[in-house]
C-alpha cells in the first residue's frame, strides 16, 4: 500500500496562532487540495495526523472539530480528492499523552489501523514536532515551508534525511510525479 501522512494546519490549510476553531476559519493553502487529489489519483492513501489541543483547551468542541473536517472533506471532494482517515490528538500539551506529536502515538495508531510498517512512509509537516514524530517511526520526514515551515527550517536541527519543499504541491510532485 502506498501511504502518505500529512499534518493539517500549515500543510493543507492556513494555520493560525489563535487556532482554527470554526469551519469559516479553515482555508486551504492554494494548490494543497489539488496535490492531495493527485496523490489519490496515483493510488496513494492519504491520512492526516494532527494535534488539536484547542479541544483540550476548550477553544472548540468535538462537534466543531467534526464540522471543520467536514468542510475539508467537501472541499477535497470538489477538487477530486479525499482523505482516507483523520487521526487527531485532542489533548492539551500538559496532558502528557502518548498521541501528541512529537510523541509517535498518532503515527503508531495509523500503522496499526492500516496494518503497515511506516519505514520510509512520507510524513509531511511544517513543525519540528511533525518531523520528530516521523523520525521516531522511521518514516520519511518532509518539511514544507508553509505554515511554521520557514521558522522550522531556519531553526535547524531537522531529523536526518529530512526533505524540504516549498509547499504540499511541490512535495507531492516529488512523491507522485
Catalytic residues: 7, 9
CB atoms within 10 A of CB 113: 12
Cis peptide before 122 (omega within 30 of 0): no
CA-wise closest residue to 11 among 176, 114, 175, 165: 165
Beta strand pairing call for 163-165 and 140-144: parallel
Query: At a CB cut-off of 8 Å and minimum separation 6, what does 102 contact?
Result: 128, 129, 130, 132, 133, 136
Q: In the chain, which ranges are E strands?
A: 2-6, 44-51, 85-89, 122-125, 140-144, 163-165
Amino acid at each position: 500500500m502506498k501511504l502518505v501522512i500529512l499534518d493539517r494546519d500549515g500543510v493543507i490549510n492556513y494555520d493560525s496562532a489563535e487556532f482554527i476553531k470554526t469551519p469559516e476559519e479553515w482555508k486551504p493553502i492554494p494548490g494543497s487540495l489539488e496535490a492531495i487529489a493527485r496523490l489519490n489519483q496515483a493510488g496513494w492513501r492519504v491520512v492526516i495526523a494532527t494535534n488539536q489541543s484547542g479541544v483540550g483547551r476548550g477553544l472548540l468542541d468535538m462537534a466543531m472539530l467534526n464540522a471543520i473536517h467536514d468542510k475539508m472533506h467537501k472541499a477535497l471532494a470538489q477538487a477530486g480528492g479525499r482523505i482516507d482517515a483523520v487521526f487527531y490528538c485532542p489533548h492539551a500539551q500538559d496532558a502528557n499523552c502518548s498521541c501528541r506529536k512529537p510523541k509517535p502515538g498518532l503515527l503508531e495508531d495509523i500503522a496499526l489501523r492500516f496494518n503497515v510498517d511506516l519505514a520510509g512512509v512520507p510524513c509531511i509537516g511544517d513543525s519540528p514536532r511533525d518531523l520528530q514524530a516521523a523520525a521516531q517511526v522511521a518514516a520519511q520526514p518532509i518539511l514544507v515551508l508553509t505554515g511554521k515551515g520557514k521558522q522550522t527550517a531556519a531553526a535547524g536541527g531537522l531529523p536526518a534525511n529530512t526533505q524540504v519543499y516549498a509547499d504540499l504541491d511541490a512535495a507531492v510532485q516529488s512523491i507522485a510525479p
